[in-house]
């Protein structure tokens, strides 16, 4: 495992996470608790919705992406501490049995003006399925400590 500080990050730096498969029962369990809509719960009812089939909640895809990031070999000094999110897109649905992997790319690195011990990194994460199709793209602002305060 590598711990990264602000000084270690630069635009263009990329790293991949491990993988996780979402099975039907997990998709339904998440939906029952957080997003109980027919297209996430019931394969039959889902046929009559805009998706035409059962798909995972976009928030389940997002939460799974977070887990992949937290488990990855590259760690940030204070953990993955989101100060906010700029954008989330779900270009393709996640279906039962899909295996997700995430790739992170540092977009921008900005030392804090007021706090000499830290800065912000903008990191874009693209989660893909086993066919390499993107299922989620999220750009997060993450708080990263400096190794040596300015």
Neighbouring residues of 44: CB distance < 8 A, sequence distance ≥ 6: none
Distance CA 81, CA 106 (A): 15
| Residue 42 makes contact with a copy of itself by CB under 8 A | no
Shortest CB 90 distance to a copy of itself, Å: 7
Q: Which of residues 68-107 bind a copy of itself (CB under 8 A)?
A: 70-71, 78-90
Q: What is the DSSP letter of 40?
A: H
| Residue 64 makes contact with a copy of itself by CB under 8 A | yes
Shortest CB 121 distance to a copy of itself, Å: 15
Q: Using an 8 Å Cβ cutoff, are 117 and 92 in contact?
A: no
β-strand pairing of 2-4 with 82-89:
unpaired
- Given 58, 96, 111, 134, the residue binding a copy of itself (CB under 8 A): 58
Query: What pairs with residue 103 in β-bridges?
Result: 16, 126
Which residues contribute to the site for a copy of itself (CB under 8 A)? 30, 33-39, 49-50, 57-59, 62-64, 66-67, 70-71, 78-90, 143
């Amino acid at each position: 495992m590598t711990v990264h500080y602000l000084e270690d990050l630069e635009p263009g730096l990329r790293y991949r996470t491990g993988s996780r498969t979402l099975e039907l029962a997990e998709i339904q369990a998440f939906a029952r608790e957080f997003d109980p809509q027919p297209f996430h719960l019931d394969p039959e009812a889902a046929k009559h919705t805009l998706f035409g089939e059962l798909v995972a909640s976009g928030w389940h895809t997002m939460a799974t992406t977070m887990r992949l990031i937290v488990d990855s070999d590259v760690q940030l000094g204070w953990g993955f501490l989101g100060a906010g999110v700029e954008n989330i897109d779900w270009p393709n649905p996640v279906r039962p049995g899909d295996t997700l992997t995430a790739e992170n790319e540092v977009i921008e690195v900005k030392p804090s003006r007021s706090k000499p011990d830290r800065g912000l990194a903008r990191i874009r994460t693209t989660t893909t399925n086993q066919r390499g199709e993107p299922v989620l793209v999220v750009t997060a602002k993450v708080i990263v400590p400096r190794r040596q305060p300015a």
